[in-house]
């Protein structure tokens, strides 16, 4: 039985977990239910996919500006600033993003929802996402040999409702839970000797969100060439299918117009990647995001980001090459998922849901030591922290204030430090397993 923080309390622990679930439902439940179907003026991230899908059926460019799609599909006028919103009555909204920022294949996923209105389409997508989460947890539990009990719903419900990345996922109608299912299927098929299906799932995940393509390197370093080959073939096939359905010009627009706009998110306060830290400290983009750079130099930002990524890659490569011992293959996969988020140009806090895979892998083999258990629990709590209270507490003016370098390397980098902590937990686990295997040889 994997470690339970309340295990020492014997049978009473389930009543404690039930109490946690009841309190979480009472406090957070109503807000969670409301978030499943946004208000008409609330532009959640899923609007991007939904509007692009509507564009496809209405004969508009898939990446048409939201200045066109918002009035056309929602009936609201786009205001230029907050003052214009206040003066425009109930029919004026302000855009946070001009165009859909997600790859074309993500639009394919939204095509079945285009016939619904915006609110019901988002609700339907959120329900599909919850089903994907349930399937992912079931596959992980079965693969790791974790027994199922109805009581397990108590800690699960309590933790999810109090977990900021999960709440952001559901508030925004994001893609992460579908990605989580695809990556879980990658893990399941890789460890069960089905390389072709593994590559297909990995190719689809990469086409939907790009950054999962890093996992091709994971399988390449372990010489799983059938997975790499099938993954690349699947990626090309899915890309061609997307181009046929949405027209090739969709990819041209995405590369030429959308990606340059998305690059500005590297300096966003929520970006938890290595590149995000270097951009916020040194790049001129920082000044566009209410950040004071430590030293404004785009070249220095690029160099610092490159060196940081190379350092992470070096540790990742070393751990992968030395991995041996019982369960090492699972931990190396978990390490690669964590590394993937560290190296992504932009890593939002809701991406942390993908860390369910490495956290589950570590949980089932957690050493029975106080240090290991406290470290593991601390990482989970750290990754679940909501960012806004930290900003309001430590940055003058909160989210509307101006952040200085001291804020950048502290409260604005808490997500990065959580990723690094999980990276080190996986790294130490692999080093310990390798040392034990070497002693037994």
In SS3 terms, 317-374 reads as HHHHHHCCCCCHHHHHHHHHHHHHHHHCCCCCHHHHHHHHHHHHHHHHCCCCCHHHHH
Crossing angle for the helix pair 176-191 and 356-364, to the nearest 10 degrees:
50
Could you tell me how many residues make up the chain? 441
Q: Tell me, what's the pLDDT at 151?
A: 78
How wide is the angle at C-alpha 298 spanned by C-alphas 295 and 303, nearest 5°? 95
Tens-digit pLDDT profile for residues 179-235:
999 999 999 999 999 999 999 999 999 999 999 999 999 999 999 999 999 999 999
CB neighbour list of residue 64: distance below 8 Å, 6 or more residues apart: 51, 52, 55, 99
Query: Mean pLDDT, the chain, as a whole number?
Result: 92
Radius of gyration of the chain (CA): 22
Of 119, 112, 151, whose CA–CA distance to 43 is shortest? 119
Task: Determine contact, residues 288/264, Cβ cutoff 8 Å.
Answer: yes
Of 328, 297, 309, 335, whose CA–CA distance to 425 is shortest? 335
The fraction of the chain above a pLDDT of 90, given in percent, is 79
More confident position, 273 or 150: 273
Of 357, 330, 352, whose CA–CA distance to 139 is shortest? 357
Q: Tell me, what's the pLDDT at 82?
A: 47
Q: Pull the structure tokens for residue 131.
A: 């089903």
Tens-digit pLDDT profile for residues 32-66:
999 999 988 888 999 999 999 999 999 999 999 99
Residue 346's pLDDT band, with cuts at 50, 70 and 90, is: very high
Exposure string of 302-319, with b = 16+ CB inside 10 Å and e = fewer, is: eebbeebbeebbeebeeb
Task: Determine contact, residues 174/356, Cβ cutoff 8 Å.
Answer: no
pTM assigned to the model: 0.94
Tens-digit pLDDT profile for residues 283-331:
999 999 999 999 999 999 999 999 999 999 999 999 999 888 767 999 9
Tens-digit pLDDT profile for residues 102-132:
999 999 999 999 999 999 999 999 999 999 9
Q: Tell me, what's the pLDDT at 83?
A: 44
pLDDT at 89 > cutoff 60? no
Q: Which long-range contacts (CB under 8 A, 24 or more apart) does 88-91 make?
A: 90/41
Q: Break the chain into its structural domains and give their ranges.
A: 1-38+105-260, 268-431
Residue in the block written with tokens 């208000």: 39
Q: Tell me, what's the pLDDT at 262?
A: 87
Residue 93's pLDDT band, with cuts at 50, 70 and 90, is: confident
More confident position, 79 or 254: 254
Q: How far is the CA of 255 from the CAs of 26, 63, 179, 258, 260, in angstroms?
A: 45, 11, 22, 6, 8
CB neighbour list of residue 367: distance below 8 Å, 6 or more residues apart: none
Q: Tell me, what's the pLDDT at 32?
A: 95
Q: Tell me, what's the pLDDT at 329?
A: 92
d(CA 95, CA 67): 8
Residue 368's pLDDT band, with cuts at 50, 70 and 90, is: confident
Q: Tell me, what's the pLDDT at 138?
A: 95
Of 343, 356, 336, 363, whose CA–CA distance to 423 is shortest? 336
Stretch 358-365: mean pLDDT: 95
Q: CA torsion 340→344→346→350, rounded to 10°? A: -10
Tens-digit pLDDT profile for residues 134-149:
999 999 999 999 987 7
Q: Tell me, what's the pLDDT at 376?
A: 95
């Amino acid at each position: 039985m994997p470690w339970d923080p309340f295990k020492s309390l014997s049978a009473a622990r389930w009543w404690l977990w039930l109490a946690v679930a009841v309190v979480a439902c009472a406090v957070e439940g109503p807000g969670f239910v409301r978030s499943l179907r946004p208000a008409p003026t609330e532009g959640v991230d899923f609007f991007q996919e939904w509007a692009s899908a509507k564009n496809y059926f209405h004969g508009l460019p898939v990446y048409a500006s939201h200045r066109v799609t918002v009035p056309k599909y929602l009936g609201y006028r786009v205001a230029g600033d907050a003052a214009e919103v206040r003066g425009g009555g109930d029919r004026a909204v302000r855009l946070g993003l001009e165009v859909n920022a997600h790859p074309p294949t993500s639009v394919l996923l939204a095509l079945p929802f285009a016939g619904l209105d915006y609110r019901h389409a988002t609700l339907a997508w959120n329900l599909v996402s919850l089903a994907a989460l349930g399937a992912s947890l079931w596959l992980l539990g079965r693969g790791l040999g974790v027994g199922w009990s109805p009581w397990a719903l108590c800690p699960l419900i309590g933790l999810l409702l109090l977990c900021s990345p999960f709440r952001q996922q559901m508030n925004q109608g994001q893609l992460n839970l579908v990605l989580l299912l695809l990556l879980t299927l990658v893990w399941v098929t890789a460890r069960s000797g089905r390389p072709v299906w593994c590559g297909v799932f990995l190719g689809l995940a990469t086409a939907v969100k790009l950054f999962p393509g890093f996992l091709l390197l994971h399988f390449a370093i372990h010489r799983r060439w059938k997975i790499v080959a099938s993954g690349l073939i699947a990626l090309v096939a899915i890309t061609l299918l997307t181009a046929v359905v949405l027209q090739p010009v969709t990819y041209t627009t995405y590369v030429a117009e959308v990606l340059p706009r998305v690059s500005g998110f590297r300096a966003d306060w929520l970006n938890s990647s290595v590149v995000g830290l270097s951009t916020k400290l040194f790049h001129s983009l920082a000044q566009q995001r209410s950040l004071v750079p430590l030293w404004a130099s785009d070249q220095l930002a690029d160099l610092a980001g490159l060196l940081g990524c190379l350092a992470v890659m070096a540790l990742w490569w070393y751990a992968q090459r030395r991995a041996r011992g019982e369960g090492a293959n699972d931990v190396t996969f978990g390490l690669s998922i964590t590394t993937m988020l560290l190296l992504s140009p932009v890593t939002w806090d809701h991406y942390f849901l993908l860390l369910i895979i490495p956290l589950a892998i570590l949980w089932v083999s957690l050493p029975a030591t106080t240090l290991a258990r406290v470290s593991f629990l601390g990482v989970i709590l750290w990754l679940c922290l909501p960012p806004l209270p930290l900003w309001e507490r430590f940055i003058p003016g909160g989210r509307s204030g101006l952040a200085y370098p001291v804020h950048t390397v502290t409260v604005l980098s808490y997500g990065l430090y959580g990723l690094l902590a999980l990276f080190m937990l996986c790294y130490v686990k692999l080093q310990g397993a390798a040392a034990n295997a070497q002693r037994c040889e």
